[in-house]
Chains A and B, each alone.
Chain A
Amino acid sequence: MPDGSLAIMPRMDSAAASDEALVARYAAGDVAAFEALYARHELPLWRCLLRQCRDRSTAEELMQEVWFAVTREAPKFRADGRFLPWLYTIARNRVIDRHRAEHATESLDAAVGDEEPLAARLMDEESPSPVLLSERREQGQAILTALNRLPREQREAFVLQAEAELSVEDIARVTGTNFETAKSRLRYARDRLKALLRDHAP
């Protein structure tokens, strides 16, 4: 461990410890617990941020901000709370703050209820369409491109489920909506992605 002098709690197997236990240990000074927590959630959070802001350097800044917030707020983390919704709520707030700063006049809710067929929208875009990407057998890139064309809320719900493996209930909690809204966003996102990929498959 890089800095054992800070560890004041009894050593436990960090791999077996719950997220919540690791946060508590870190709040008590155990840096190794934070390292375990970070290693466990680094990639899912990183991908979520990258999908939300679509820019690597911005995602890196956000990544740093989110984990810095975790280090600051860890002592306030409630013992009966759950870490994942807490972490992704922090992340979402950072993304929103960043988005507001960059697009001060754009409403975050503008895309909600946008029922325009995704395929039609994609065809109007200058970027490579999923059809072309599929033809090039770049299905993965097609999915990511299609995802980028989803309304922000749908993309967010899908990514939170696919990357962070949050339940619908937790997605609702993180995004500050109710269960039904979160469920609808997920359904729209999945239906659109599926339809697009099915219709335009080679």
Chain B
Amino acid sequence: MSAEEEKPDQLAEAYRRASADEAGRPGDAVRRAILDEAKAAARRRQPVANDSRYMMRAVAGIAVIGVAVVLWRQMDHRLPGEVPSTQAAPEARLEIPRPEAQPAISPPAAKAESAPTAPAPSERASAAPAAPAPERQQASSISTAKDVAQESRADAAADNAAAGAARGQLRRAESMVAPQINDPGTEVLIQYFPQQYNSDTPHSLWLVRDAAGRVLQSGEIVAGRSLEDSMPQIQQQLGGRKPGVWREQILLNARGQQIRLMTTTLP
């Protein structure tokens, strides 16, 4: 092929000029029809939202995510030998009823109110046969004790102390985890303060019930302020009614953070 044949020459140029002058363009209707068809064809190729395949994929995806969340929540995220956060301040869980305190919320009443829509962590753990957390905790504590014993064979006294400490840890953990689960205060936290229950920081909360035990109002006391400081706002939310005697509970939330729960009943 010669270069002359490969390259456009004057003839081709002259032809192009003549052709451009003479041919013009296709009609607007043609152009419109083509572009409309292009859009329609592209639209036909789009996946349909209610296509059963996509619905099945969506449902399957949601199911997988749900299973993953459940598994993740059941996992023990503590390192081997790590002291459970609930043990950090065992005394903090104790209720400190004031002399004039109202009786604690009765479990049946609380359950009647709660009507939980999703299984709460405490409910899962409350099933006696399940109770995986204490078992894992026990296993990890024993493991830690064994490690300590192996590393300090030369020092029998230290070995005994470590094993004794591990056993003590186990006993404390067993004694703490179980009662916390059925604690009415924790149930109140889960039901009325879910955010604070899963929070990584301590909180001071208040809750007011009526004489029948129904919760009327609840809220949080701003950090750094006392209940007395917040009383005007609380009374305002109660429509000016003055609450009764406050009862204080110190609880631990799901993250081991201290929760101060002030409850009272409207006369």
Interface residues of A (CB under 8 A from B): 2-3, 6, 26-27, 29-31, 34-35, 38, 42-43, 46-47, 50-51, 59-60, 63-64, 67-68, 71-72, 74-75, 139-141, 143-144, 147, 158, 161-163, 165, 167-168, 183, 186-187, 190, 193-194, 197
B19 at the interface (CB under 8 A from A): yes
Given contacts A60-B27, A140-B14, A144-B15, 6 further A-B contacts (CB under 8 A): A35-B38, A46-B25, A71-B34, A139-B18, A162-B16, A190-B11
Interface residues in B1-41 by Cβ distance below 8 A to A read: 1, 5-6, 8-9, 11-12, 14-23, 25-27, 30-31, 33-35, 37-39, 41
A22 to B193, CA, bound (A): 55
A141 to B20, CA, bound (A): 11
A183 to B45, CA, bound (A): 41
Interface residues of B (CB under 8 A from A): 1, 5-6, 8-9, 11-12, 14-23, 25-27, 30-31, 33-35, 37-39, 41-43, 45-46
A127 to B39, CA, bound (A): 43
Contact of A161 with B34 in the complex, beta carbons under 8 Å: no
Tally of A-B Cβ pairs under 8 angstroms = 109
**Which residue of the partner chain, among A27, A38, A60, A161, contacts B12 with CB atoms under 8 Å?**
A161
Contact of A190 with B42 in the complex, beta carbons under 8 Å: no
Q: Closest CB-CB distance, B25 to chain A, in whole Å?
A: 7
Contact of B14 with A68 in the complex, beta carbons under 8 Å: no
Report the nearest B residue to A189, measured CB to CB: B11
Report the nearest A residue to B29, measured CB to CB: A60
Report the nearest A residue to B33, measured CB to CB: A64
